[in-house]
A = this chain, B = another copy of it.
Amino acid sequence: MEATCQCNTVNMDKVTQGKAVLMTENVAGDLANLYKVFGDPTRVKILHLLSVTELCVCDIANVLEMTQSAISHQLRVLKQAKLVRNRKDGKTVYYTLDDDHVHTILKQGLDHISHVL
Contact = CB atoms under 8 A, between A and B. Distances in A.
Interface of A is mostly: helix
B4 A65 contact: yes
Per assembly, the copies of the chain total 2
B32 A38 contact: yes
A67 B5 contact: yes
Contacts of A14: 53, 55, 59
Interface of A: 1-5, 7, 9-11, 14-15, 17-19, 21-23, 25, 27-36, 38-45, 48-49, 52-53, 55-68, 71, 82, 91-92, 99, 101, 104-106, 108-113, 115-116
Nearest to A36: B39
Contacts of A43: 32
